Amino acid sequence: MNPVSVVGERHNPAVAVIGKIISYLVFIGWALLTILPLFWLGYSSLKSNEELTRDIYAFPRDLFDNAEDEYRVITADLNTILDYDPVEDPRERIIVESTSIAPGRRLMVHFLVKEEMPPEIQALEVGDTLRVSQLPSDWQRRISRKTRWFNYTSAWTRAGMTTKFLNSVLYAGGSTFLIIFFGMMMSFAVSKLPFRRLSAVVLGVVGIGYLLSINSVIIPLFLMLTGVGLTDTHLGIMLVYIAFGFPMALLLGSQFMRGLPSSLLESATIDGASYFQAFWRIIMPMTTPVVITVSIISGLGIWNEFLLVLVFASSEATKSLPVGVYSFSSLTGTQLGWQLAALVIATIPVVTIYLLYSKQLTKGVVAGAVKG
């Protein structure tokens, strides 16, 4: 070892230790900064509105510790939402409303089937109160479960999450599939067929799309697609996603396919396979890495996209999850607890996928960003 390195080693340890400490502080701090807000969101989504106003940091209690909750008998009025179909099930109900969770707002309401109740409860008049513990045990369990998930069931049904969830899956999944399919077809043509100049034109024209985003042409898109009646439709929204997915698919796809040996294609076509068969059976299976990268970037981008659906979707039937969550949270009647539950519902699928596949997802994003 030469003397210089000895000098280096001698003054290094203290500096290195300080460097290590700072490094750990930075990363632990950052990890906490990521986790704590999400953790707060998670547990707060299980709190009632009253609890959230009382103490913003306390752990949830009201909705769980519900065995002794007090309820008041009420009459049905316009803003009570029935949880049963009175035509299918005409049995008489005693309607009760919580006196502690959103009292008087007809949000925390149960419909007790009168014939299943003990006589002292059947005898209750409107305005009388009862405790959950007085009810038969199966009703206690049912009410306890409904109370615990109050925010989630309310958010899910009142924000129409089922439709929005399916729409988001359709937009992200359907558009990504077609981006890959048509995008790889174009990539195949420009990289494997012997038309240099035509290929350059196609690549150049589609490449311009890199400089643009949906946001930059949203006004003409809105006017055009309104003209042909496609704005508030799944097809119209997906067409835009597909078109804006092509630049990246074509760039990454053609780059990758150029690296595949042409002999593969030649031997296949000599054996009598059509070009489409050769593309589908031989080239496509070999492009899996690009397909994964493009799917991750497109799928994730579309899943989280906001402005297009905000502008195009005028009815609830075409809204996606982000737009649904946004408009739900800006309604004045929405309880804070429901808003938080809606945020959790929108977050869980993505976080789950991320935790399962964080390595592949990270690689995909890097590949897309660096080459783009």
Partner 1 sequence: MTKRDRNLLWIFFGFVTPGMVIYLLIVAYPIFYSVWLSLTDFNPNSGGSWNFVGFSNYAIMFRDPFFWHALKNNMIVIAVSALGQIPIGFILAFILYRKMVKAEGFFQAMVFLPQFLSTIVIGLLWKRMFTANGPVARLIQLFSGNPDAQFTMMLDSSTVMIPIGFALIWIYTGFYMIIFLANLQKIDTNLIEAAKIDGASEPQIFTKIIVPMLAGTILVSTILAIAGSLKGFDLIFSMTTQGLQRNNAMVLPIFMYQTAFQDYSNPLRFAYGAAISNTIVVISMALILFSNWVSRKLSPQGVE
- Nearest residue (CB) to partner 1, 88 versus 359: 359
Query: Using CA atoms, how far apart are residues 257 and 249, in angstroms rounded to an integer?
Result: 12
143 within 8 A of 132, measured Cβ to Cβ? yes
Tracing tokens 């783009």 back to the chain, one arrives at: 372
Residue selected from 99, 215, 255, 262 as contacting partner 1 according to rule CB under 8 A? 215
Query: Using CA atoms, how far apart are residues 167 and 233, in angstroms rounded to an integer?
Result: 11
Q: Is the dihedral of CA 176, 178, 182, 185 positive or negative?
A: positive
The answer to whether 174 contacts partner 1 (rule: CB under 8 A) is: no
The answer to whether 141 contacts partner 1 (rule: CB under 8 A) is: no
- Nearest residue (CB) to partner 1, 239 versus 260: 239
Tracing tokens 């300080």 back to the chain, one arrives at: 18
Query: Using CA atoms, how far apart are residues 230 and 224, in angstroms rounded to an integer?
Result: 9
Which among 59-67, 84-92, 99-107, 297-305 is the span making contact with partner 1, rule CB under 8 A? 297-305
Which among 106-114, 117-125, 144-152, 359-367 is the span making contact with partner 1, rule CB under 8 A? 359-367
The answer to whether 30 contacts partner 1 (rule: CB under 8 A) is: yes
Residue selected from 134, 233, 329, 334 as contacting partner 1 according to rule CB under 8 A? 329
Contacting partner 1 within 218-257 (CB under 8 A): 218-224, 239-240, 242-244, 246, 250
DSSP 43: H
Residue selected from 282, 292, 306, 334 as contacting partner 1 according to rule CB under 8 A? 306
Query: Using CA atoms, how far apart are residues 45 and 64, in angstroms rounded to an integer?
Result: 12
**Three-state SS at 93:** strand
The answer to whether 303 contacts partner 1 (rule: CB under 8 A) is: yes
The answer to whether 369 contacts partner 1 (rule: CB under 8 A) is: yes
Residue selected from 132, 190, 237, 290 as contacting partner 1 according to rule CB under 8 A? 190
Tokens found for residue 30 = 């950052």
Q: What DSSP element (H or E) covers 130?
A: strand 129-131
Q: What DSSP element (H or E) covers 97?
A: strand 93-98
Which among 34-42, 86-94, 259-267, 287-295 is the span making contact with partner 1, rule CB under 8 A? 34-42
Tracing tokens 């919580």 back to the chain, one arrives at: 98
Query: Using CA atoms, how far apart are residues 107 and 333, in angstroms rounded to an integer?
Result: 11
The answer to whether 279 contacts partner 1 (rule: CB under 8 A) is: yes
Tokens found for residue 251 = 């760039």
The answer to whether 315 contacts partner 1 (rule: CB under 8 A) is: no
Residue selected from 262, 277, 358, 360 as contacting partner 1 according to rule CB under 8 A? 358
The answer to whether 41 contacts partner 1 (rule: CB under 8 A) is: yes
The answer to whether 57 contacts partner 1 (rule: CB under 8 A) is: yes
Written as one letter, the residue type at 189 is A
DSSP 320: -
Which among 72-80, 90-98, 117-125, 193-201 is the span making contact with partner 1, rule CB under 8 A? 193-201
Contacting partner 1 within 81-120 (CB under 8 A): none
The answer to whether 4 contacts partner 1 (rule: CB under 8 A) is: yes
Q: Cβ of residue 27: shortest distance to partner 1, in angstroms?
A: 4
